[in-house]
Amino acid sequence: MTIASIAATDIASTDIASTDIAAKGALGIGLLVAGLAVVALLIGAFVLGARIRRREPPPPRPEEQPRPPEDGPVQEVREHREPNEVPRSDHRLTPHEMPGHGNIPSRPSPSQERPRWSEGGSGSFGSGGPGRH
């Protein structure tokens, strides 16, 4: 090996090492820039949220809260209701031809007694018992 070839090899290895160091430095700088960008986005989101929150009306004060009616809270009403019958006609009715445009209301049943199943039955199918024979 000649001195020139050793010098050329030494210079080539120095170039590779410096390129490797430069690549690591660029990667570090790139990660730092990406981290700063993420932090800037988070700060911007926080500032924007605070600005939007300032424009919202404040929460209601205790005197502005809803109050129950004077006669007390609304009580549950239990009643047995029956649907109104569909009017009979010779042709098929479309919803807009029906009373209430297809939203047929119900009415109170003459008997307010709750429908019950027969004695000895469970009131459901597949209960496992022998049932009523």
- Kindly list the domain boundaries of the chain, sorted by start residue: 28-55
The sign one gets for the Cα dihedral 67, 69, 70, 73 is: negative
Q: What predicted TM-score, i.e. pTM, was given to this entire model?
A: 0.35
pLDDT of 106 reads 76
What does 71-131 look like in DSSP terms, one character per residue? T-SPPP----EEEPPPPP-SSPPPGGGSGGGG---EEE-S--SPP-PPTT--SSTT-SS--
Per-residue pLDDT tens digits for 78-126: 788 887 777 777 888 787 777 666 566 777 888 777 766 666 665 566 5
